[in-house]
Structure 1
Amino acid sequence: MKLLGNKSKYLGFDDRIMVLLGIPVVSFIIPPLFFGQRPESFMEFCPQWGASLFFSSILWAGNRQILIEFRRKFFDKEQDKKRVALTIFFVIFFTALVNFIGFILTPPEDRLEIQGQGFGAGLFVTLFCITIYEAIWSASRLRQSRTEAEKLKRENLQSQLSMLKSQVNPHFLFNSLNTLTSIIPEDPERSVKFVQKLSNVYRCILEIRDKEVVTLEEEFNCIESYIYLLDTRFGASLKFDIQLKEEDKERFVVPLSLQILIENAIKHNVVSRKRPLTIEIFANDEGNLVVRNNLQLKDQEMEGTGTGIENIDNRFQLVSEEALEVIQTSEHFTVVLPLLTISSYESSHH
């Protein structure tokens, strides 16, 4: 690999600028720092700087290559201990070897005087080089790990979203068909309308299932037919109180979220003439969508369908990084959904 090569995954960054600046700077401070050489003029200092630059370049390039080779061979995080141990051994060995070469090239009368300073200077260059490269490498791997974790999280949420969109609650279809069977003999015209509304519900599901977000108006167009089916089934036992402004309907929610919350309320609460269930849907002062029902839990909880509140929360975080809020008191169960603007959706999505 070239010393001034392009950006490498084994370095974590493009180090050309650091090499071009780092080696001259380090070599410049070594003579006065380790050898006590403080020439009176720059021209007098140039030979000393040149020698320092020569050995600093060898040490920098060699240690850099050692790092790259061991990172290439032991790239996985599980091999970090082995990589670090071998790297330390070889950079110390390489530094000692370069220092020995410098010792041989030094005039015999000066060898004993500068031997210790030479090894200290070489070790300084090595530590400076290794510290910078390891710090940037560690930071780069940490960023990569976080990016991969976020990607995995999004892929997982996207998978959940796809699964949710492909699911149709069999209990809902079963109950709707039972209701249809009961009204056909009593009111054929009403049964025809019921079938039309049932068809509308599934048509809406097919139309919005591939969308990440829909306007609240689109969502309500879907649940209007759904509410009609529930009203036919439960009659006065189930009441809806919906209060929304037109501007609220221009904002966005994840598809089928209202239908799922309504279904969740019916599934977990008693619905009867003596104890009617009331579901309220409105926008609060903070601009969020509130779905609230009076709390009258069944004695025995039904088995979940896998399409509940947690899944809606994950889908909101997938498209906006905003979470819904669940509030339960002794009297009410409330879910607060974020009403998204197009800007908040696009900024998070892109």
Structure 2
Amino acid sequence: MRKHSYKLFRIYGYPGFALLLYLILILINPLDNVYKSWRNYAATDFLLEFGFNIAYTILLFETGIQLTALLNRFRSWENFLKTRFVLQFVLHIIIIYVMIRLFFTFRFPAYFGYDTTMERQTIIIGIIFSLLITAVFAAEHFFYKWNDARLMSVEMEKLTTQAQLDALKLQLDPHFLFNNLSTVSALIDTEPMTALSYISNLSSIYRYMLTTRLKNVIPLSAELDFIKSYLYLYQVRYGEGIIVTIDDTANKTAMGLPPLTLQLLIENAIKHNTFSMASPLKINITFTYDNRLVVENNKRLVSDKESSTQVGLKNISERYMLMNQTPPIISDLPNVFRVEVQLINIDELQNT
């Protein structure tokens, strides 16, 4: 919860309100009585009386500040607005009443005029100010909550825009298209049937990207079907240099994930590691009992570390955050890189 600082108010507000209270007490009493008292005052008496008003002001506002901080821990404004307001107001009045009664037990010179009438006036003023102070603190709380919500909305809009831009950049990565077109060109003369199959899988990849780009969640089975086409292209290019194993998904039919999540994780592994037929890149796709998808690969990092911008992992994390889902768990171990993403129950998501 936001912690408020009242430093400036304490420095400038307390003397100002003390002067206001002093003027109120003067105005609500007959002027003749006031002048009679002042004729007997010494300069120190004026200072003393003004000091009493500063002390009373501090009591009024500090009680409100401390009560607000205390009650925020047990009874929030959002969930218990009416009872919280009444409780804080009543506690404030009780504290002020007790302190005023204790103050008027002291014997002051008669010319001060601190009689029962003055005591009642002070109590009434305390009740009025207690009501206003409680209302101010309630309004302050909701103002800051509204402001925080507005700032969060702006931030979420920025993240949404950035995530969409990142997704578009990944989907339309020209290197991916150029590399595959070069492969097709090389296959047309030597292996025309393989070239046709390659083009078919390449077109299905882009068809999938176009049909899912506006969806937040797609079934796990659809993503895995897409991945088969995606991996086919790499298998044609690298052969046994990339080995991918996929766990059984028979009991995951109701689960889903953001589109292209698995593709981004596999691309991340391929992009940042070196591999060959003799030392293949091994990617294992498994599922945990608590409905997490795990993508794990052995590590043989490329020498150019500057090329690792983590755009794909950032894209996945931001999409999960925007959907209020558990963010991915990334484990960068000495010999293994592992990412766990939470699968999403599609039925539950549609019912929320």
Question: Per the shorter chain, which TM-score range?
Answer: 0.5 to 0.7
Summarize the alignment of residues 171-182 of structure 1 with structure 2, pairs less than 5 Å apart. Answer: 171-182=175-186
AA aligned to 2:160 is Q
Letter in 1 for 2:127: V
Q: CA deviation at 1:148?
A: 2.5
Could you say which residue in structure 2 is the equivalent of 1:202?
206
Do the aligned partners of residues 293 and 143 (structure 1) sit closer, same or farther apart at CA in structure 2, a change above 3 Å counting?
Answer: same
Amino acid at match of 1:174: F
Which residue number in structure 1 is paired with residue 29 of structure 2?
103
1:319 is aligned to: 323
Cα distance between partner residues in 1 of 2:303 and 2:195:
33
Most deviating of 297-306 and 154-163: 297-306
Say which is worse superposed, 230-239 or 148-157, in terms of deviation. 148-157
| Structure 1 position 253 matched with structure 2 position 247 | no
Q: Please tell me the residue identity of whatever aligns with 1:154.
A: M
TM-score by length of 1: 0.68
In 1, Cα distance between equivalents of 2:347 and 2:23? 61
Contact kept in structure 2, 1:268 and 1:302, CA below 8 Å: no
Q: Identify if the C-alpha distance between structure 1 residues 212 and 246 changes in structure 2 by more than 3 Å, giving closer, same or farther.
A: same
Tell me, in whole angstroms, the C-alpha distance in 2 between the residues paired with 1:255 and 1:297: 27
- What residue in structure 2 maps to residue 57 of structure 1? none
Contact 1:319/1:345 (CA < 8 Å) preserved in 2?
A: no
Q: CA RMSD in A?
A: 3.2
In structure 1, the residue matched to 2:237 is 233
TM-score where L is the length of structure 2: 0.67
Distance between the aligned counterparts of 1:282 and 1:185, measured in 2? 39
Q: Paired residue for 1:141?
A: 143
Deviations 1:236-293 (A, max 9, x none): 1111101132331431111111111111101111121111011111211222101111
Which residue in 2 is equivalent to 1:189? Answer: 193
Describe the SS at the equivalent of 2:327.
Answer: coil
Aligned partner of 1:296 in structure 2 is 300
One-letter amino acid of the counterpart of residue 220, structure 1 = L
Unmatched runs of 5 consecutive residues or more in structure 2 = 1-5, 37-109
Cα distance between partner residues in 2 of 1:329 and 1:188: 42
SS in structure 2 at match of 1:103: coil
Partner residue of 1:42?
A: none
Q: Is 1:270 paired with 2:274? A: yes
Whole-angstrom CA distance in 1 between matches of 2:174 and 2:252: 31
- Aligned residues with identical type, % of pairs: 25
Which AA in structure 2 matches 1:157?
L
Q: 1:271 to 1:142 in 2, by over 3 A?
A: same
Secondary structure of the structure 2 residue equivalent to 1:255? coil
Cα distance, 1:138–1:230 mapped onto 2, change above 3 Å: same
One-letter amino acid of the structure 1 residue matched with residue 152 of structure 2:
E
| Equivalent in 161, 181, 192 of residue 163 of structure 2 | 161
Q: How many angstroms apart in 2 are the aligned matches of 1:218 and 1:105?
A: 87
Which deviates more from structure 2 when the two are superposed, residues 200-209 or residues 311-320?
A: 311-320
What is the alpha-carbon distance in structure 1 between the residues aligned to residue 174 and residue 343 of structure 2?
A: 29
